[in-house]
Structure 1
Amino acid sequence: MGFMALKTPLCVFFPLVIQILGIESNIGVNYGMQADNLPPPNEVAKFLLDSTIINHIRLFDANPDTLQAFAHTGIAITVTIPNDLIPQFTNFTFAQEWIKTNISSHVHSTNIKRILVGNEVLATTNKLLITNLVPTMQTLYSALVEESLEHKVQISTPHSLGILSSSNPPSTGRFRPGYDDHILRPLLSFLRDIGSPFLVNPYPFFNIGSNDTNLNYALFRSNSGVFDEYTGMNYTNMFDAQLDAIFCAMKKIGYDDVDIVVAETGWPSQGDPDYIGIDPHSAATYNANVVRHVTSGVGTPLMPNRTFETYLFALFNEDLKFGPSYERHFGLFGPELIPVYDIGLLRPNMAFSGPPNSFICCFMIIVIMGWLFG
């Protein structure tokens, strides 16, 4: 029987193979809660654990009830300190008490992986927040050291691509004047010293304009690509171009050895009619292609043979968010925990009591492949 005669789409079995082999995914999801119709965190945690292959979650706060809901799930949690609290954390006593209350008291049962200081702080143009960003990160790290958690919990902060003054073609990527020397150089130096990644929020959706050619480029569809005459590289998707522009900016100031993590990326499934490419099919296309691409090991033209820890935005549609209507429709799931569209994040209804041995792994794969192609 040929490949085209599959009884069931292969994507249905891909999550099962991941579960059988115990392969840890680099894919996470942002769990925002600006909505009045969401299920409680304990239901969300159970759903993610039992029904999906999602094993990384980013929270936009450090709510203790949410952290408790994810206890004993093994799901890796990233918590966030809101922007408006940043200045308070330059006080070591305050930072130490926050770490004890929000991290130390949960970390033995909840898999807290990372603390993010604010979100897109440089984009706020708030001088108080910007000048306190690195000192806050340093103080929090010192508080983690006091609790002997510096090797378990990372510190970082995510950035919009607005930190770049130039990005097209990617090789011209550089940080905005004033940010590179005064903020980003000490920030990257600190991240290098503590072994934490540089986090960015690339959104090709915001750069497509009204051009169908740009839409194909943004969605990883067939297109002629964008040629970078300085490197001789041809880019066939905007996501790679955005990451390489960040990489070039980091390289120009000597920090291209710091890992890059995609803290947010996504595509809305609904919005105002004056935007092109806002529909469930386009959203599914983008997110599925991002997942495939960042986990493939192909990397980008300037960062080949790499995978990227990547967090899709977002877990839910959030009906209380401000701004254009598309801002409320980035969710992968509705409040009833039904997918808005399917990109292969759901697992089959099959439970295993523990990691199987290698013989069972091979046997199950043979059975599955025989059923598919036999």
Structure 2
Amino acid sequence: MATPPRHGCMLRAEVVMCIFLVIAPLSTAIGVNYGTKGDNLPSPAKVAAFLVTLTNIDRVKLFDTNPDIVRAFAGTGISVMVTAGNGDIPGLATQTGADSWVATNIAPYYPATDISLVAVGNEIMDTADKNLIGKLVPAMQMLKDALVTAGYNKIRVSTPSSLNILVDSQPPSAARFRDVWDDAIFTPMLQFLRKTKSPLIVNTYPYFGYNGDTLPYALARPNSGVLDMGSGIMYTSMFEAQLDSVYSAMKKLGFEDVEILVGETGWPTKAMDGQIGVSPAEAAEYNKYIIREVSSGSGTPLMPKRKFETYIFTLFNEDLKPGPVAERNFGMFQPDFTPMYDIGIMKDPVKTTTAPGSVVPSAPRKVAATPMVATADALDVAVPTKANGSNNA
């Protein structure tokens, strides 16, 4: 996730009080990102127990393969997405390296921990590192082969990307993958994802694309809408427009059938002084909308009735993250498990103040039974900053 742009309209101070919005219980599970860049965060065991006992969250996305965290989710029935670090990619692009990585990072924990997907790196296309970009798809392929060889056929492999992989992303019907990357990277990547029945992971953040005038559109409040002249569709949700932009780019390459997974989306509770549209109230409003959107199964205008596995960013405020204030304040919970707001993910809101040390899962969920290469020189594409355009994630 990158730095948000500065917005031209800054009309009121932030609200720091907790807002509790009660909605109907979840009909579909929602995932959450679990970051650890904080010096005051609870232990992984307490986090896992809290999620199982007091919330309806049944899947988490990790940004590494920290053994203490992966092990903490053993026997909980919570689905876990783990991440191979960016620096692991060159090694993963070799058979020996991929086999070794699986032996070290998957074999000791699976299937006791329900590892559902391995994300290879994070937003690699934004790094402008031609070596990593060129080895990304081979690393994904080798890793999947290593997982299959080890008998872990059900574990999917993909890689998260920001919306900077697109050009002409507005209107959605005009969106396409960046020149050179479309043929050198995304065609073989989508071929791999289709073959292995794995999703394309995208990080979609209306927060990074809104301003004072478009706040209702970003939060999916009642608004006049944005017309896509190419399709004739009137969009009233920036989130849906972002997803349809990804779909349009995939369709132009002939891969519209590949699943889309939302790896990150969210809204901060606090930002720089005076920034309009940032408080616990707006964060609750956006995440409540995301849960309703995901749970409904209604899809988007270009993908009706399609469901999207979605992970809200993020579980906790992380006080050690660099950058603007907002980067440290996307959390749904304080480190002591106090909710920043209630959007219907708590099993019993009365228990949200339970002392972390006393949270013990009484009935763990059931656990599953045991069980195209691009050269670096071809990838010389400039990467814009996330402050450009209206679909920045």
TM range (shorter): 0.7 to 0.9
- 1:142 and 2:145 equivalent? yes
Matches for 1:1-374 after TM superposition, within 5 Å: 11=22, 14-15=24-25, 25-150=28-153, 152-209=154-211, 211-212=212-213, 214-348=214-348
Unaligned stretches of 5+ residues in structure 2: 1-19, 352-360, 366-393
Q: Which amino acid aligns with 2:287?
A: N
**Maintained 8 Å contact 1:266/1:314:** yes
> Once the 2 structures are TM-superposed, how far is the Cα of residue 232 of structure 1 from its aligned partner?
1.2
What letter matches 1:113 in structure 2? S
Percent identity between matched residues is: 50
TM superposition shift of 1:237: 0.7
Q: Residue type matched to 1:39 in 2?
A: P
Provide Cα deviations, 1:110-168, integer angstroms capped at 9, x if missing partner: 11100000011001111011001001001101101111112x20000011000011111
Alpha-carbon distance in 2 for matches of 1:64, 1:46: 16
Select the structure with the greater relative contact order (CA < 8 A; seq sep ≥ 6): 2
Given the two structures, how large is their TM-score scaled by the length of structure 2? Answer: 0.82
Q: For residues 327 and 290 of structure 2, what CA distance do their matches in structure 1 show?
A: 19
Aligned length: 336
Pair member with larger Rg: 1
Q: Does the CA-based 8 Å contact 1:30-1:57 persist in structure 2? A: yes
TM-aligned CA deviation for residue 331 of structure 1: 0.3
Residue number in structure 2 paired with 1:369 = none
Which structure 1 segments of 5+ residues have no match? 1-8, 356-374
Q: Aligned-pair distance for 1:276?
A: 2.0
Give the partner amino acid of 2:115.
I
Q: Distance in 2 between matches of 1:184 and 1:306?
A: 22
State the alpha-carbon separation in 2 of the partners of residues 272 and 133 from structure 1.
36
Assess, with a 3 A threshold, how the Cα gap between structure 1 residues 255 and 226 changes in structure 2: closer, same or farther: same
In structure 2, do the counterparts of structure 1 residues 354 and 93 end up closer, same or farther at CA, with 3 Å as the change threshold? closer
**Could you say which residue in structure 1 is the equivalent of 2:17?**
none
1:273, distance to aligned residue in structure 2 (A): 2.1
Once the two structures are TM-superposed, the CA of residue 275 in structure 1 deviates from its matched residue by 2.9
Residues 26 and 308 in structure 1, CA contact (< 8 A), matched pair in contact too: no
Letter in 2 for 1:49: V
TM-score by length of 1: 0.87
2:379 corresponds to which residue? Answer: none
Q: 3-state DSSP class of the match of 2:195?
A: helix
Specify whether residues 164 and 354 from structure 1 end up closer, same or farther in structure 2 by C-alpha distance, changes over 3 A only: closer
* Residue 354 of structure 1, CA deviation: 9.3
CA contact (8 A) 2:297 2:307 kept: yes
| d(CA) in 1 for partners of 2:317, 2:22 | 24
| Amino acid across the alignment from 1:244 | D
Note closer, same or farther for the CA distance 1:354–1:116 as it changes in structure 2 (3 Å cut).
closer
Q: Which moved more, 1:340-349 or 1:167-176?
A: 340-349
Q: Secondary structure at the match of 1:104?
A: coil
- Structure number having the greater helix percentage: 1
